[in-house]
Structure 1
Amino acid sequence: MERSLETQVSQAVDAWLAWLPRWEPATHRGRVAPCRRCFGSPVLSAAGLGADVPHGVQHGLSTRIKTIVDHGVAEYTALNLPMLQAELDHQAARNRARSYRPSEGLDPEFEGLPLDPDPVPGSPFLFTISGLADDAAASLPDLPPLSDEAKAALRQEVGLADDYANMIGREVCTVLLHHRLRIQAAITQYVEPQIEAMLEELTRSLDAPFDPNDPRTS
């Protein structure tokens, strides 16, 4: 039996709560560009994860919820939008033919994130993961061209799929409102203490920027 949307969201939150105790603050250099999946996300607003919550924590939940929406849209498309489904099937077959697919099979906490770190000015990369993936895709033949009539029909079906995705998204946000208390409780238990410890360590470093036992500072 197909699981209800309420059950799917509850299970996604359960999986995120089970992962959250393993979360640790990132120590690498932060990215300049915001995450397109999480920035301004109504899903995160419904879950009560504001801008003061670290992005890694947000991303793990938003990706799990996006999977639910994507699955619902995929079912709707398969049943009601034949042209769009055919295009998706062609694209899926093309993707499977690629010899290098680094963005597939990732854990939800990493899915949708850039494959490479931000470049450092004056220090170019010898190669990038995304560049290797693009090279693998470039060797595949293009998808068959569409007539103007087919393009117009396809645009209409894409619009219908977008409308359905927005409808599911609104329903998901409504369901998430019922999980806000346990989401916030987990943030208080597992995330806030680590953030407070980082701020305390930063304060100590600013108060005593030099090691008094280091002979170079005497």
Structure 2
Amino acid sequence: MERSLETQVDQAVEAWLRWVPRWEPATHRGRVAPCRRCLGSPVLSAAGIASNTPHGVQHGLSTRIKAIVDSAVAEYTARNLPMLQRELDQQAARNRARSYRPAENLDPEFDGLPLDPEPVPGAPFLFTIAGMADDGAEELPPLPPLSDEAKAALRQEVALADEYANMVGREICGLMLRHRLHIQAAISQHVEPQIEAMLAELTESLDSPFGPDSL
């Protein structure tokens, strides 16, 4: 039996709530570029997650919800948008033919994030994971060209898919409202104490730059 949208959202939030106690602050240098999936997300806003919440915590939830939207749009496309579905099938076949696919089968907390860390000025990488993936893509033959009429029809179907995705997203935002208290409680219990401990440690190190033996 096909799961309802409400059931899928409930299960996604439950999975995120089980994961949050395992979250720890990242110790590596943060990225400069904002995450387009999380920045200004109406889903995260509906869930009551503040913009100053650590990105890893936000991303774990937004990615799980995005998977629900993607699945709903995929079903809608398969039923109603044959040209777009054909293009997606061709692209999927190309992706399966790639020799190196590092972005597949990632946990929700890492899905959609950059594959490589930010480069350090003056210390270039010998190679990057993203670069290796791009090299594999260049080995594939190009997709067959489309006529102007086919391009116009494809753009129309893409617009319909986007409209459907927005509709599903709005419905999910409404469903997220009922989870706000549990989500905020989980952040207060498992995330905020770790942030406060980090700030306290930083404050202590700034107040006492030298140890007692250095005086």
TM-score with structure 2 length normalisation?
A: 0.99
Q: Is residue 2:134 matched to residue 1:134?
A: yes
Note the C-alpha offset of 1:120. Answer: 1.0
Alignment match, 2:33: 33
Do structure 1's residue 53 and structure 2's residue 53 form an aligned pair?
yes
Does residue 148 (structure 1) correspond to residue 148 (structure 2)? The answer is: yes
RMSD (Å), alpha carbons: 0.7
- 1:208 is displaced (CA, Å) by 0.5
> How far apart, in 2, do the equivalents of 1:212 and 1:35 lie?
42
For the residue of structure 2 that corresponds to 1:209, the secondary structure is coil
Q: Separation in 2 of the partners of 1:43 and 1:123?
A: 38
Deviation of 1:210 (Å): 1.1
Number of residue pairs the alignment of both structures matches: 215
Per the TM alignment, residue 10 of structure 1 is displaced from its structure 2 partner at its CA by: 0.4
1:20 aligns with 2:20: yes
- Amino acid paired to 1:139: E
Unaligned runs of 5+ in 1: none
Q: How does 1:103-122 map to 2 (within 5 A)?
A: 103-122=103-122
Q: Find the residue that maps to 2:117 and give its secondary structure.
A: coil
Post-superposition Cα deviations, 1:21-58, rounded to whole Å, max 9, x if no partner, equal 10000111111110010011111101111112100000
State how far apart, in whole Å, the 2-side matches of 1:211 and 1:154 are: 66
Corresponding residue for residue 185 of structure 1: 185
Report what 1:100 is aligned to: 100
Equivalent residue for 1:63?
A: 63
Aligned equivalents of 1:181 and 1:117: distance in 2?
34
Instruction: Give distance in 1, aligned partners of 2:145 and 2:42.
Output: 36
Q: Structure 1 residue runs of 4+, over 3 Å off?
A: none
Q: Provide Cα deviations, 1:55-105, integer angstroms capped at 9, x if missing partner.
A: 000000000000000000000000000000000000000000000000001
**What's 1:208 paired with?**
208
**Same amino acid, percent of matched pairs:** 79
What does residue 86 of structure 2 align with? 86
C-alpha displacement of 1:200: 0.8
